[in-house]
Every structure is written in C-alpha cells, then in structure tokens.
Structure 1
Amino acid sequence: MESQSLELSCSPQRDYGSLRGLHLYHRSAQSQTTLLSMAVNSEAKVDPQHRGRLQHSEGLDSLQVNVTLSHLQPSDTGLYVWELSYREDSVDQIITSTQKVFLFVERTERSCQCSPSYGPVILIIFTTAALLLLTLIWLAVEKCVKARHHLRPQPPVPIYEEMTRKQQSAGNPQNNHEAASHLEEVNFPVYANPNIRQPQDNYYACPRQLALRA
C-alpha cells in the first residue's frame, strides 16, 4: 500500500567464505536500479532517488543485514533481489541470494485536504451560482407569462346578443325598407336616371313651352 514501509533482510552464508560486498537491486518492468551497495572498507552507497527513504544497518560483519524502505510509491513496484560477493582462497564468488521479494504498491485515493480559508470562498461561489440560477428561472417564467398574455384570444360575441340583434332587424321591415330607399336615393341621384326629368325654369332652354301673349 502507498505510504507504507518495506523491510528487507539478508543473512550472509559464511560457508562461501568471507563476505566482501553486498548489493540490493530493484528490478522493474523498465529497468534495474541498484538501491544499496556495501563493500569492505568503504562507505555504503545509496541510490540518490531513494536517499532519505532507505535506511540500512551498518557493516557487513553482522549476521543479518536489514534494509527499510519507507514512504512507498507506485514506482517502487517490482522485484527486490540481494546479491552477495564472497572471497575464499583469493577467489571471488558472486552469489545471488534466494531471498527475493516482489512488491506491488497500490495507489491510494487521496482526499481533498482543503485549507480552512477556502470554506468562505466556496460558500460565496455556491451562493452566487444559486442566485444566478434563480434569476434566470424568474426571467424565463416572466417571459412565458407575457407571451401567453399577448397570445390570449379575444372572447367571442355571446350568442344571445347576436340573436337579439337579428330579431330587432326582423321586427322593423318598414324601417329597413325606408333606410334602403334613402340609401338608394343618396347613392343613385335623380340625374343618374335619364327617364326622370327635372322641371326647367329656364325658358330660354326650351322656347316651345312659352305662351303667346296677346
């Protein structure tokens, strides 16, 4: 699991001679990294990328070498292998330890750790968004109400008023006839009808009608 620690240990085999060196390798799918190198009469060397997270016991004279890798990361996933170097009768011998460890570091979901000062800011943002949403809803409702009022149809004329008007028109046929005659006289004057002659007072226009004087 991420952020936890890994403890590795190796017990040298004295049957192969005196221990002259020790290496701890990390083998991943992409590469191999030497995490720790220890040799006689020299300082231990730790990989720079793991320095600060890797701790080890001092010296090769101990019966067991312990290594602790803390604050594990997903990149620490892989196979951890020990390699030991022995010398016996001026002959160097390199042996890979059977103590191999495969590690899989699972990524953990990190919760959002917001600063306390962000609380009022977040509250203001949510309040502003809510007010803006309410304003938009109110404007939309008002627009719909105005559109519905504008498109409202005119009320039809009641049937009983129309029937009353027709009855009044049918009950006064004489008035209707006189009104029609009056309209006809107005629209069609007498001079439009050639059969109707107007009395002529101008005697010069028609001399045949003058009476002979004694």
Structure 2
Amino acid sequence: MSTSDEYIYEVIDNENDARICAQLLAEEFVASNSMIIFDQLTPQHMFDEDTWPTMAEIFNEQLSFLARHRQSGKIIATICACDFYLAQEKHPYESSSAPSLIPYFDLLEEMDDIFIHQDLKQELKPNMVLQIVMGATRTEHSGKGVATRIRTILCEYTRNVREFQYTLAQTTNEATRHIYVNKMGGKKLTIIDPTT
C-alpha cells in the first residue's frame, strides 16, 4: 500500500473492490474512450461483456491497483494488469476466429500479436511482460496526478517485487499516452489509425 495526502494506492485483493473497479472502468470508458463511444455501448453492457469478466479473470494475479480517496474512502481510480504470458496462454490470438462482439477488442488482439512477433524479439515467458489491460480515473479527480501515480506504483511494484522485465500498454487516450511516454519514459512501438 502506498499513500499520499489525499489518496491511498493498494493492490486489488478482494472481489468487492474488484467489482467496484470494474464498474468504474465501464463508466469511464463509455464516457471517454473514443473507440468505445463509437460502438455506442452502455456502461452496463461494457461491465457485463468486458470489464467485469476481465477483472474477475485476472484479479487473483494481484497485479491490479486501485486508488482510494482518503477522506471519503471511495475508489476513484484503478489500473488492471496481468501477466501477458498467462493471458496469451488462456486466449491465444487466432486471426481466423469469429469477430468479437466489440470490434475494438479484435484490434487489441491483433496489436498483441504484433508485439509478440515483431516488437518483443524473444520468446515470451511467465513473469516477463506485464500487460496493462485498462485503467481509468474518475473525471472529478483528473489533473491531480492520480493517473500517473497509480501507473508508476504498478510498474515499480511489478518490477521490484514481482520481477517483470517489460510493461505493455495500449491506449487510445492522448493523456494516457503522454503519461506512459513523457512522464514514465516509455517507448512507442506500434501506432495504428483504426479509421484507415
């Protein structure tokens, strides 16, 4: 657990917090993610079809974090991550498979495959690549450094405690990209334009 004056950051370690985080992700993604807005999904549909099944599948890895507002105790941000190797073992990419109900997911799977076969340039192994699956901060807490801090804490924890060597993050949000590249020293590997 890490603290600041206004927020407490902690590993998601119970189903109740995981469910609240999945709901936060669904609500914020539907409101602000351009790829999800295009699909005109409701927060409930996003929760049922994506954020909760994803969170339920990976939260036992204890690689996901939440930020709690100290005064109110409410969860105001979350970042959901997993061992990329385990994710690929459970859900291998197959280009000939039927399209997803949410087309954006097909694009992300294709980008995962590009990373494995073009960017990584070595065999994928357990505890090697941390995959940041999704993250969100409540709009009213934006601009306070929460998004940067939760990502930094996640990366420090997974590098220093869990010994991951790399982190893979895919984002459609320019502010999030700025955090990864400019504030955290990340490197852009593949950039796509889904409109082409």
More helix by share: 2
TM-score interval, smaller chain: under 0.3
The TM-score with structure 1 as length reference comes to 0.19
Larger Rg computed on CA atoms: 1
